[in-house]
Amino acid sequence: MSLLELIAAADERALVASGTACLDRCLPQPAEGADPDPLRPLWAACANGDEWPDRLAEARAALSDVPSGVDGAIPAIRKLLGEAPAERTDPGLRAWADACSLLALEVHLGQDATPAAGDDLLRRCREDGPTGAGPLVTGEVRRQIRILEMLAESAGAGLRQVLDVSTEGQRVLRAATSRRARAGVIEPVRATECRKCSAS
């Protein structure tokens, strides 16, 4: 199944977990003394849907203290957290998870060593697979697919494995971002142009 098909077929728990994982991977390296994991509350809510409203509020508050940086990822994450449904049963949850998926791919595209044309490339990657994409986008598409497949296969477990996969992806992106920053190349995230961000 394609990435879009997996999102369309995902249940409530998978949508919350995959969306949280996408946002988590977009977080930049924390400043010294800062909270290293401001989205931790959302991971707890992945296992217990009743906690989602309170945990979402905690994550929004935690991210409000994180510096915006220069690449635009933090404002984009804040925007999506602000648009996240207050209840996990909200029908807008699928659109939110889809927007998180797209943001993660836009962030990876901005840091890819050989970025291709953005909008059309990401659409094709989500519909047909990452053929022709750079290594970071290719890895992120495959990572999102793997996470959704893991969640679909596991009715009650799997969150630990999802977190492990996402954390490894976070390390890969941060390393690439660090290399490009040293080279003086920073690609800002086009948060205001994320077509899916306003869909929820």
Q: Which of 59, 48, 54, 50 is nearest to 24 (CA)?
A: 59
pLDDT tens by residue, 71-108: 678 999 999 999 999 999 889 999 999 999 999 999 99
In the 8-state DSSP scheme, what is residue 31? Answer: P
The ranges assigned to domains in the chain are 3-193
pTM of the predicted model as reported, rounded to 2 decimal places: 0.87
pLDDT of 198 reads 39
Looking from the CA of 193 toward its CB, the CA atoms found within 13 Å total 8
Residue 191 has pLDDT above 50, yes or no: no
Token pair 């940086």 is at which residue? 69
